[in-house]
Amino acid sequence: EAAVTQSPRNKVTVTGGNVTLSCRQTNSHNYMYWYRQDTGHGLRLIHYSYGAGNLQIGDVPDGYKATRTTQEDFFLLLELASPSQTSLYFCASKDRDNQAPLFGEGTRLSVL
């Protein structure tokens, strides 16, 4: 069964801390995405990737780096976390254009 797995599910860090959010899909999907979800803003695209080694900038990339190490794995890096990055983060994947992506269960990040 198709699945997108995120880890950790919850994370608390302090301002200026280093955080890595992980996402793995075993669906052989080409595209992977990182979104953040905040009340009043819906889902906003941070970064996305077409495949291993590829990275594209989304709508709200400031303060975030991403890396697609393999077809399966996509990481989101916050190198100097700030309270404004407190949010619910979703990873998603899909196979082709104009297809609904499959979402992971989310990572709730709190930056104190």
Partner 1 sequence: QQKVQQSPESLIVPEGAMTSLNCTFSDSASQYFAWYRQHSGKAPKALMSIFSNGEKEEGRFTIHLNKASLHFSLHIRDSQPSDSALYLCAVSMDSGTYQRFGTGTKLQVVP
Least Å distance, CB 14 to partner 1, is 25
Query: What is the number of other CB atoms lying within 10 angstroms of the CB of residue 91?
Result: 27
End-to-end CA distance of the chain: 37
Q: Which residues bind partner 1 (CB under 8 A)?
A: 31, 33, 35, 40-45, 48, 50, 58-59, 90, 97-98, 100-101, 103-106
With b meaning 16 or more CB within 10 Å and e meaning fewer, what string describes 27-41? eebbbbbbbbeeeee
Nearer to partner 1 by C-beta: 77 or 88? 88
Least Å distance, CB 103 to partner 1, is 4
Least Å distance, CB 59 to partner 1, is 7
- HSE-up (13 A, CA, CB side) for residue 107: 27
Nearer to partner 1 by C-beta: 12 or 57? 57
Contact yes or no for 51/67 (Cβ under 8 A): no
Nearer to partner 1 by C-beta: 74 or 90? 90
